[in-house]
Amino acid sequence: MNPFDWLVQLLGIALALIAAPVFLGWVNKCRAWLQNRSAPSVWLPYRGIRKLFHKEAVIAENASRLFRLAPYVVFGAMVTAAAIIPSIATRLPITQAADAIALVGLLATARVFLSLAAMDVGTAFGTLGARREMMIGFLAEPALLVVIFVVSLACATTALPMIAERLSAQALSLTPSLAFTAVAFTMVLLAENARIPVDNPATHLELTMIHEALLLEYSARHLALMEWAAALKLFNYACIGFAVFIPWGISTGNSATSLAESVALLGVKLLVAGFGLAFIETVSAKLRVFRAPEFLATAFLFAVLGLLVRLLLGS
């Protein structure tokens, strides 16, 4: 481990922390454009977080310590995930700490803490949100794991940096198994990040929301951390997608020029992915909560199809 690697690692974490809210802002901006609305600034999520940090926290009378601890744990889990996912470089010190399966476990830890915190105050919406969040979670997690299995069969490893390295060494081509899993992964990304076909990030209509229902009782700095963690989660999922499906351009050595290239390419990928996400959200309608399992079952099916194609055709 040389100091340069640690520097790049810290740079990656800082980049994730900074870029995540902007990425969210970019998605919102694209969505507004596509929907013929006047678009908010991409910096808006920042201003929201900053404002929230300055406010006085109001906490429900019967909230326990778990309620106050959870935002920090969720935020910590998301930052750790950002440190593990190879976003700009593959040879980093902390990436070894967890492979893709452990990463899924880490995201599940964040989800469980979020749900437990939502149940803590004992409101009707909190428990409703927790129940729905866990339902989406248990449906999305196997689909995500099968996606990872497919890729790890192709690369003979479950370590994300190695996957990114081995895939980026190949020529730019779309294998059938990866095409199926890419569809599955996109569906999981939408569901896990409370995006439109499954949940609506813009709604506060009580009976349809999932993610917002979990955060209802939070305010001020706790809410800021939760919002930031949610933005980081979207960023992390995008970076997992890049590492697995379009790893080209990621820095595999330790030279400063390749790193700069890698950062620039990441920016381009994020811009395109953000627009794509906004496009999907614009052309689809929100499903009823009980259609969400069908949506995720489809994702699972696509992932399994990818697995079978991989095993049958070997490509």
Partner 1 sequence: MTYGFSPLTICLALLAAWCIVALAGLVRPRSIAFVAWTLFPLGALCGTGLTVVAAMSLGQSPEQLVLPIGLPDLPVHLRLDGLSSVFLFLLGAASTGISIFAAGYFRRGEGAAPGLLCLQYHLFLASMGFVFLADDAYAFMLAWETMALSSYFLVTTQHGIAEIRDAGFLYLLMAHLGAIAILLSFGVLQGGSWHFTFDAMRAAHLDSGWAIVAFCLALIGFGTKAGLVPLHVWLPEAHPAAPSPVSALMSGVMLKTALYGIIRVSFDLLGQPAWWLGLVPIGLGLFSALYGVVFAAAQTDMKRLLAYSSIENVGILFTGLGLAIVFAGSGMRSAAALTLIAVLYHAINHAFMKSLLFMGTGAVLHATGERNLGRLGGLIHRMPWVAWLMLIGVLALAGLPPLNGFVSEWLLLQSFLFAYGVPHPFINMLLPLGAALLALAAALAAYVMVKFFGVIFLGQPREPSLRQAHDAGFAERAGLGVLALACVLFGLFPSTIIAYLSVVTRQLGLGGLAAGNAPWWLLVPIPERQSSYAPLVFFTVILAVVVLAIANVRIFYHQRVRKGPAWDCGFGELNSRMQDTAEGFGQPIRHLFQPLFDIVRELPSPFDSAPRYRLVIGDRMWRHLYQPVGPMVRRVADKVAWLQQGRIATYLLYSFVTLVVLLALML
Residues 143-162 that bind partner 1 (CB under 8 A): 145-146, 149, 152-153, 156-159, 162
- Nearest distance in Å: CB 96, partner 1: 5
Stretch that binds partner 1, among 24-32, 69-77, 168-176, 273-281 (CB under 8 A): 69-77
Give me the residue label for tokens 């492979």: 99
Stretch that binds partner 1, among 29-37, 109-117, 239-247, 271-279 (CB under 8 A): 109-117
What is the radius of gyration, based on Cα positions, of the chain? 19
- Nearest distance in Å: CB 182, partner 1: 18
Following CA atoms 74, 270, 45, 186 in sequence, which dihedral angle do they give, to the nearest 10 degrees? -60
Q: Is 77 in the site for partner 1 (CB under 8 A)?
A: yes
Count of residues that bind partner 1 according to CB under 8 A: 80
Our CB check for partner 1 shows the closer of 125 and 248 to be 125
By CB under 8 A, the residues from 8 to 37 that bind partner 1 are none
- Nearest distance in Å: CB 230, partner 1: 15
By CB under 8 A, the residues from 229 to 288 that bind partner 1 are none
Contact indicator for 5, 91 with CB cutoff of 8 Å: yes
- Nearest distance in Å: CB 197, partner 1: 17
Whole-angstrom Cα distance, residue 20 to residue 262?
17
Give me the residue label for tokens 């929201």: 48
By CB under 8 A, the residues from 83 to 102 that bind partner 1 are 83, 94, 96-99, 101-102
Q: Which amino acid is at 286?
A: K
Q: Is 187 in the site for partner 1 (CB under 8 A)?
A: no
**Cα separation values, 194 from 44, 173, 231, Å:** 19, 31, 11
Whole-angstrom Cα distance, residue 30 to residue 236?
19
- Nearest distance in Å: CB 146, partner 1: 5
Our CB check for partner 1 shows the closer of 20 and 159 to be 159
Stretch that binds partner 1, among 22-30, 107-115, 192-200, 274-282 (CB under 8 A): 107-115
Q: For the residues of 117-186, what is the DSSP string, one character each?
A: HHHHS--HHHHHHHHHHHHHHHHHHHHHHHHHHHHHHHHT---HHHHHHHHHHS-S---HHHHHHHHHHH
